[in-house]
Amino acid sequence: MTDYAKKTRAVHGGTRRSQYGEVSEALYLTQGFVYDSPEAAEARFDQCGPDEFIYARYGNPTVRMFEERIAALEGAEDAFATASGMAAVNAALTSMLRAGDHVVSSRALFGSCLYVLEDVLMRFGVDVTFVDGTDLDQWRAALRDDTKAVFFESVANPTLEVIDIAAVSELAHAVGAKVIVDNVFATPVFSDAIAQGADVVVYSATKHIDGQGRVLGGVILGTREFVRKTAEPYIKHTGGALAPFNAWLLLKGLETMDLRVRAQVATTLELATALAGRDDLERVIYPGLPDHPQHDLVQRQNGSAGTVLSIDCGSKARAFAMLNAINLWTISNNLGDAKSIVTHPATTTHSRLSPEQREELGITDGLLRLSVGLEDAADLLADLEAGLAAASGQG
Ligand SMILES: *Cc1c(COP(=O)(O)O)cnc(C)c1O
């Protein structure tokens, strides 16, 4: 598969056919697997081969197809699928850390990622230092000889700061730390994170991989050694396994992901460009715009700025007036979906953070996160313009 382009791997990677030779991937909706004899059961528990399965919490043929397809796409040796993106983030970190270890993380994180680092890991005696991920001097200052891992969202949710994977990896590797990248906003279509130095890449498959708002899922990608010896034992014994039905939808999602995401990126750039000139917006944040501080970095790192932009309407009243006036955009909190979705992070996805934390990250009360879907760009823009017109009377 590695000889083929990403688009080809996304359609064919990991395919396994049963004796019936089905064209589309089979859905093995089974929790368990039958052994011909007690000796066969004993042998399988002792040494489970790549085409053998024991229990769906450990692995399942449909889940395995998804793991092999996303690993082929990402250029990773192996992958382990999880029940959600958060199960992947939690397992990637928890499976490799123990009390007394040190972690350095960027501060600009999705609320649940922050919970894992700040509440879960710290409660179990892992020391975590938070830095401004765009400032290499802060990474340099925070890394120590006992730093075991660094963690960051390569494009931060929802402020869209871009972190230099190659530069942070070089600093982390110099002290022997593993680099774990939450790469959701970059999307697997535009990721080259492993070649750029990441040791472990994590996705919420709920986002662009499904891309149609149906199921939760997640995946951890890395070396075979890490995935099978460190991540797998942790996940299979703690219960965060991906359901076969969800894996089947995600497999089919991967087939169309390239087309969907490229179309969404083109519309995102069109909307960001159209909104950038408006004087009733405090800010339009999109790394694809030339005035974004990491514009060159995102072009170099991903070749695309993704399917999300953020706008600052100036106040919560104006943001809410806009949300109440739009029709086509859906008020929700998913992203990467075929349907365009608008989120007010300060009162939803990032409401866990204190007002001070939000201010430090630039998550203002007027900020709206726009996840751009597959609708017509002119329709989406007209709806936003109508919303902004309705908001103009607000303080
Ligand atoms: C959504 C998201 C997650 C969590 O994924 P779930 O599938 O909702 O558990 C983690 N990181 C980022 C950057 C996300 O956007």
Each residue's pLDDT tens digit, 2-16:
789 999 999 999 999
Average pLDDT over residues 143-160: 96
Q: Enumerate residues 6+ apart whose C-beta is below 8 A from 184.
A: 85, 153, 157, 203, 204, 207, 208, 335, 336
Tell me, what DSSP letter sits at residue 222?
E
pLDDT at 50: 80
Residue-by-residue DSSP string for 281-328: -SEEE-TTSTTSTTHHHHHHHTSS--SEEEEE-SSHHHHHHHHHH-SS
Reported as a single tens digit per residue, the pLDDT across 241-269 is: 999 999 999 999 999 999 999 999 999 99
Ligand 1, pocket-test mutation among 117, 155, 157, 363, most atoms within 8 A of CB: 157
Which atom of ligand 1 is least distant from the CA of 157? 13
Residue-by-residue DSSP string for 77-136: SEEEEESSHHHHHHHHHHTT--TT-EEEEES---HHHHHIIIIIIHHTT-EEEEE-TT-H
Pairwise CA distance, residues 234 & 91, whole Å: 7
pLDDT at 327: 96
Which atom of ligand 1 is least distant from the CA of 185? 13
Ligand 1, pocket-test mutation among 155, 180, 207, most atoms within 8 A of CB: 207
Which atom of ligand 1 is least distant from the CA of 334? 1
Residue 394 has pLDDT above 80, yes or no: no
Q: What percent of the chain has pLDDT over 90?
A: 93
Interior CA angle at 310 toward 380 and 171, to 5°?
A: 140
Judge contact between 260 and 369, C-beta under 8 A.
Answer: no
Tell me, what DSSP letter sits at residue 147?
E
Reported as a single tens digit per residue, the pLDDT across 330-381 is: 999 999 999 999 999 999 988 888 899 899 989 999 999 999 999 999 999 9
Residue in 100, 106, 250, 244 with CA at minimum distance from that of residue 164: 106
- CA 92 / ligand 1 centre spacing (Å): 14
- CA 31 / ligand 1 centre spacing (Å): 26
pLDDT at 326: 96
Pocket of ligand 1 from Cβ distances under 6 Å: 84-86, 89, 110, 112-113, 153, 157, 182, 184, 204, 206-207, 216, 218
Q: What is the 3-state secondary structure (H, E, C) of 154-213?
A: CECCCCCCECCHHHHHHHHHHCCCEEEEECCCCCHHHCCCCCCCCCEEEEECCCCCCCCC
- CA 182 / ligand 1 centre spacing (Å): 9
Residue in 93, 333, 364, 325 with CA at minimum distance from that of residue 226: 93
Average pLDDT over residues 35-45: 95
Pairwise CA distance, residues 384 & 222, whole Å: 40
Average pLDDT over residues 301-313: 97
Instruction: Give every strand in the sheet of 78-82, ordered side by side.
Output: 78-82, 218-222, 200-204, 178-182, 147-153, 102-106, 127-131
- CA 237 / ligand 1 centre spacing (Å): 22
Residue in 105, 84, 86, 109 with CA at minimum distance from that of residue 345: 109
- CA 209 / ligand 1 centre spacing (Å): 12
Residue 33 has pLDDT above 90, yes or no: yes
Which atom of ligand 1 is least distant from the CA of 207? 1
Judge contact between 39 and 91, C-beta under 8 A.
Answer: no
Closest C-alpha residue for ligand 1 atom 7: 85
- CA 389 / ligand 1 centre spacing (Å): 32
Mean pLDDT, all residues of the chain = 96
Closest C-alpha residue for ligand 1 atom 8: 85
pLDDT at 213: 96
Judge contact between 247 and 59, C-beta under 8 A.
Answer: no
Closest C-alpha residue for ligand 1 atom 2: 204
CATH label, 258-391, candidates 3.20.20.220, 3.90.1150.10, 3.40.50.1370, 3.40.50.1470: 3.90.1150.10
Domain boundaries, the chain: 6-253, 258-391
- CA 220 / ligand 1 centre spacing (Å): 13
Q: What is the Cα gyration radius of the chain? A: 21
Q: What percent of the chain has pLDDT over 70?
A: 100
- CA 8 / ligand 1 centre spacing (Å): 26
Binned at pLDDT 50, 70 and 90, residue 111 comes out as: confident
pLDDT at 352: 81
- CA 161 / ligand 1 centre spacing (Å): 16
| Pairing relationship of beta strands 200-204 and 178-182 according to DSSP bridges | parallel
Judge contact between 283 and 323, C-beta under 8 A.
Answer: no
- CA 19 / ligand 1 centre spacing (Å): 37
Which atom of ligand 1 is least distant from the CA of 88? 9
pLDDT at 395: 67
The dihedral region occupied by 240, where left means phi > 0, alpha psi between -120 and 50, and beta the remainder, is alpha
pLDDT at 193: 98
CATH label, 6-253, candidates 3.40.830.10, 3.30.70.1880, 3.30.70.260, 3.40.640.10: 3.40.640.10
Residue in 113, 303, 341 with CA at minimum distance from that of residue 218: 113
Residue 68 has pLDDT above 80, yes or no: yes
Residue 118 has pLDDT above 70, yes or no: yes
Judge contact between 306 and 187, C-beta under 8 A.
Answer: yes
User: 353-380 burial, b if ≥16 CB within 10 A, otherwise e?
Assistant: beeebbeebbbbbbbbbbbbbbbebeeb
Which atom of ligand 1 is least distant from the CA of 218? 7
Residue 1 has pLDDT above 80, yes or no: no
Pairwise CA distance, residues 298 & 183, whole Å: 13
- CA 392 / ligand 1 centre spacing (Å): 33
